[in-house]
Amino acid sequence: MPDLFAPYDLHGLALPNRIAMSAMTRTRASETGVPTDLMRDYYVQRASAGLIVTECTQVSEQGHGIIRCPGIHTADQIAGWRKVTDAVHDAGGRIYVQLWHCGRVAHPEMRGGEPPVGPSPLPAEGDFFLPRGRVEFPTPRPLELEEIAPIVEDFAQATRNAREAGFDGVELHGANGYLQDQFLQDGSNHRSDAYGGGVANRARLMIETAEAMIAAWSAERVGIRLSPSSSLYGMKDSDPRETFGHLVSTLDALEIGYITLLEPNAKDAKKGVQIEHVVETLGPLTSRPLIVNTGFDKAKGNEAIASGFVNLVAYGVPYIANPDLVERFRADAALNKPDPETFYGEGPTGYTDYPAMANETTR
């Protein structure tokens, strides 16, 4: 029976283990979205993962929604990522880039005064971090119908750029309350045109984006990340089982390369999520490789692999503090304690200075 350390063939990409590094925003790119040498070092440190998925990476300037977030839509951004992928491959790793549009989760002050866009004039819940402090989310400008096709093309072009930058594949960020997720769920999508109303219309942007990315590369090299039970930024749906069931079944028909499903976190659970066990509910609807994420340790990860539904387990916060997470799990070694104060920021502190087992010291 396979476990976390068993190899896996991801459509011809040989993974030495089933431990994936989850996509995580870390805000270490340049102000213009160019990946830095520090980012290169960070990913190289974690190259023993079966698969690395990068932080969310904007496909256009309109999609820019996080301070010091990398992009992949300009020549210098592509060149910066090429340094990262070359170094990760030299270290024996495999790396996908997560492609992303922030939608309504942004603020005009970091966008030259331009308001964020979304499916409907409904602001995200919570607050947004600016250098001057936290502020409320503004009401987004609803996208006009003719603006949607160019956004889909942005994802297709970003996929082509990812190939040029040397990535092994791409992941569509369809989770966590960003643009495609905003269109999908009826709590944020009140449109009455071809992209609103029933579930097939609300899923249209997600599906069209996935199709365009597949056409730009291949189905085997395109994955997708979904969060059916996340309440982040006020996301909600009146019938998530129907909505996400339709989406997963449609993605299965596209023969997408993999589907990452996020289980609810503790905050979501307190809010009474409607899909408590995401993989058990949605996993039977697809034959595509499944990656599961959120709240897993080594034991739970092995249980997930043994269930037969799950092919890889993605780890987020444990990978922040433990660049050699695979080796620590294999040795049943203690894990470094992460410092949430340095999850986002600048410089190496809390980013590339966590020790490996071989040279462990007190931070």
Known catalytic residues are 178
Question: Which structure tokens are listed for 301?
Answer: 């990860």
Q: Report the interhelical angle of 204-216 vs 145-164 (nearest 10°).
A: 30
Nearest CA to 98 among 4, 209, 236? 209
- Between CA 329 and CA 301 the distance in angstroms is 11
User: With the CA atoms of 196, 197, 202 and 205 taken in that order, what torsion angle do they form, in degrees rounded to the nearest 10?
Assistant: -30
Count of beta carbons in the 10 Å neighbourhood of residue 79? 13
Asked if residues 22 and 56 have their Cβ atoms less than 8 Å apart, the reply is no
Amino acid identity for residue 282 in this structure: L
- Between CA 39 and CA 2 the distance in angstroms is 32
Strand partners, 8: 15
Strand extents, DSSP E, 216-272: 222-226, 258-262
- Characterise 347 by phi-psi region: left (phi > 0), alpha (psi -120 to 50), beta (else): left
CB neighbours of 25 closer than 8 A, spacing ≥ 6?
A: 55, 56, 66, 69, 344
**How distant is the alpha carbon of residue 298 from its chain centre?**
21
Count of beta carbons in the 10 Å neighbourhood of residue 286? 20
Alpha-carbon torsion (59, 211, 82, 353), positive or negative: positive
